[in-house]
Chains A and B, each alone.
Chain A
Amino acid sequence: METPEQIRDRLLARFPDATVTVVANPGPAAQHSLLVDPARAVEIATFLRDDPALRLDFCSNVTGLDWPEREVVETIRKTVPLSPATGAADASPASPAVESATPIVEEKVKRLQPGYLEVVYHLYSMALKHGPVILRLRTGNRTDQVSLPSLTPVWRSCEFQEREVFDLFGVAFRGHPDLRRILMWDEFRDHPMRKDYAEPDDYEWEPTPHETVLAKARAHYSSPAPDAPAAQSP
């Protein structure tokens, strides 16, 4: 089977205005995936299904990911141009030999990476017995731009799994034939698999609370909890 890079090059040749990038998987599995532009996703999916060299006729798995907003620290190396006077004054006592090199300064930049939701499709070919090819689609953000094109018209097996992603992550699939909640009830308003989901507060006492359960135990049963660490410590 073709590598993801080859598939990306063929897709870019076929759809010049689409953006397709390869997302590398650094783990030992090395299952690199294709990040696809949502605007052309249905056409790209149809091409992957019908292309005679690929014939990815089976979508085995659809899943979701929640990437909340996070702070990324990037190290940027940049050269700092110095004025000749100060540069000569700094450089001459320490290292007279290196006079031509401009100093390289490493600068740490904090950047707020906006959050988004991601949907991952695992595609296989029953006819040619190869796979998987992994597609990723990303939403604009996590609040109001959570719409993505549905690939159910291309692979019928996506229907229930896209409903599950809609239910648990809140991705609204455009063009899905029957977009309802599948696991939780219809009146439910939350999306439980999102990182910021707050579950209903129905804790009850447990004999061995730990970690997050211990925090809940302290909130609900305040009287024994403050003594518990003191009793354990010698």
Chain B
Amino acid sequence: MSDAAAPIPPEPAPRAQPAPAGGPHPPAISSAERDELRRQGILLTSLEELYNWGRSNSVWPLQFGLACCAIEMIAASMARFDIARFGSEVFRPSPRQADLLIVSGTVTKKMAPQVVRLWNQMPEPKYCIAMGACAISGGPFKQGYNVLKGIDRFIPVDIYIPGCPPRPEALLHGLIALQKKIRGQTLSGPAAPRHLRAETACTYPVPAFGEHDLLPPKNPAVWQPPSLERTD
């Protein structure tokens, strides 16, 4: 990427050499890369790549299990599936040291405020994986009175892993998808992640225990119920 513009230009934008059209060689950089170089410059782009490479290969999960999905998560961390291959073997017992919240199991309404509080206690940049049917939607307990119908009603979820419970391979696949997502994050611009934008809050309101349900039952800033639209 750096050989496309040999002299280091002054800050705003390097002038990339357009590739000869119709030539035998493909263009050295794509147009999207050229746009990014124009916006951020070589220095920031290289730093971003290094920064994201480092972050994505040391995603430390919170040591936090809720139900049977946690058993699969533990299995994924053991020698047979070995989540250490992807740099995530360090399960931190404190949310202050964790980058990733794996919601591994059924979130009951009694447990939901504690999950949101743990999420608030984690420092940015932080990511959330909803593991299994219960964490995604309530799963088999969706019609019940005591289970939260998806943790995405209160906190933003980056990766959803379906399954009941998902196999350890599925968790590893979700982790790799999260790593790809981290590597794609930019340091500036409109696509910058939540913690680099000044206007977004990084803490989320913790629901209170009400007389019949959680108060509020969902965070409207994070989640809205799906709406149906007639297309015919």
Q: Is B81 an interface residue (CB 8 A)?
A: no
Cβ contact within 8 Å between A204 and B213: no
A45 to chain B, nearest CB (A): 31
Q: Which of B149, B211, B217, B228 contacts A221 (CB 8 A)?
A: B228
Given the known A-B contacts A184-B146, A197-B145, A205-B225, are A223 and B230 also in contact in the complex, defined by CB atoms under 8 Å?
yes
Q: How large is the interface on A (under 10, 10 to 19, 20 to 34, 35 or more residues)?
A: 20 to 34
Cβ contact within 8 Å between B149 and A224: no
Name the residue of chain B whose CB is nearest to the CB of A198.
Answer: B212
Q: Is B110 an interface residue (CB 8 A)?
A: yes
Cβ contact within 8 Å between A185 and B209: yes
Which of A11-19, A84-92, A103-111, A188-196 binds B? Answer: A188-196
Q: Is A82 an interface residue (CB 8 A)?
A: no
Q: Is B143 an interface residue (CB 8 A)?
A: yes
A23 to chain B, nearest CB (A): 30
User: Complex formed: what's the CA distance from A189 to B213 in Å?
Assistant: 10
Q: Which of A188, A204, A213 contacts B211 (CB 8 A)?
A: A188
Q: Is A144 an interface residue (CB 8 A)?
A: no
Cβ contact within 8 Å between A202 and B146: no
Name the residue of chain B whose CB is nearest to the CB of A189.
Answer: B211
Q: Which residues 126-140 in A have Cβ within 8 Å of B in the complex?
A: none
Q: Is A183 an interface residue (CB 8 A)?
A: yes
Name the residue of chain B whose CB is nearest to the CB of A212.
Answer: B143
Tally inter-chain residue pairs, CB-CB below 8 A: 47
User: Complex formed: what's the CA distance from A16 to B198 in Å?
Assistant: 79
Name the residue of chain A whose CB is nearest to the CB of B232.
Answer: A227
Cβ contact within 8 Å between B211 and A192: no
Interface membership of chain B positions 141-178, coded 1 if the CB is closer than 8 angstroms to chain A and 0 otherwise: 01111100100000000000000000000000000000
Cβ contact within 8 Å between B146 and A192: yes
Q: Which of B146, B211, B213, B228 contacts A183 (CB 8 A)?
A: B146
Name the residue of chain A whose CB is nearest to the CB of B214.
Answer: A200
Residues of B with C-beta under 8 A to A189: 211-212
User: Complex formed: what's the CA distance from A213 to B109 in Å?
Assistant: 20
User: Complex formed: what's the CA distance from A205 to B149 in Å?
Assistant: 11
User: Complex formed: what's the CA distance from A221 to B229 in Å?
Assistant: 10
User: Complex formed: what's the CA distance from A49 to B6 in Å?
Assistant: 92
Cβ contact within 8 Å between B228 and A202: no
Cβ contact within 8 Å between A202 and B149: yes
Q: Is B24 an interface residue (CB 8 A)?
A: no
Q: Is A71 an interface residue (CB 8 A)?
A: no
Given the known A-B contacts A202-B217, A205-B226, are A187 and B209 also in contact in the complex, defined by CB atoms under 8 Å?
yes
Residues of A with C-beta under 8 A to B217: 200, 202
Residues of A with C-beta under 8 A to B149: 202, 204
Residues of A with C-beta under 8 A to B209: 185-188
A and B contact pairs by CB, cutoff 8 A, 25 listed: A183-B146, A185-B109, A186-B209, A187-B209, A187-B211, A188-B209, A188-B211, A188-B212, A189-B211, A189-B212, A190-B212, A192-B145, A192-B146, A199-B145, A202-B217, A204-B149, A204-B225, A204-B226, A205-B227, A205-B228, A206-B142, A212-B143, A213-B143, A221-B227, A224-B230
Taking A199-B144, A213-B143 as given, write out 19 further A-B residue pairs in contact, using a Cβ cutoff of 8 Å, ordered by the A residue number.
Answer: A185-B209, A187-B210, A187-B211, A188-B212, A190-B212, A199-B145, A200-B217, A202-B149, A202-B217, A204-B149, A204-B226, A205-B225, A205-B228, A206-B142, A221-B227, A223-B228, A223-B230, A224-B228, A224-B230
Q: Which residues of B contact A (CB under 8 A)?
A: 109-110, 142-146, 149, 209-213, 217-218, 225-228, 230
Top 3 A-B pairs, shortest CB-CB distance: A200-B213, A189-B211, A185-B209
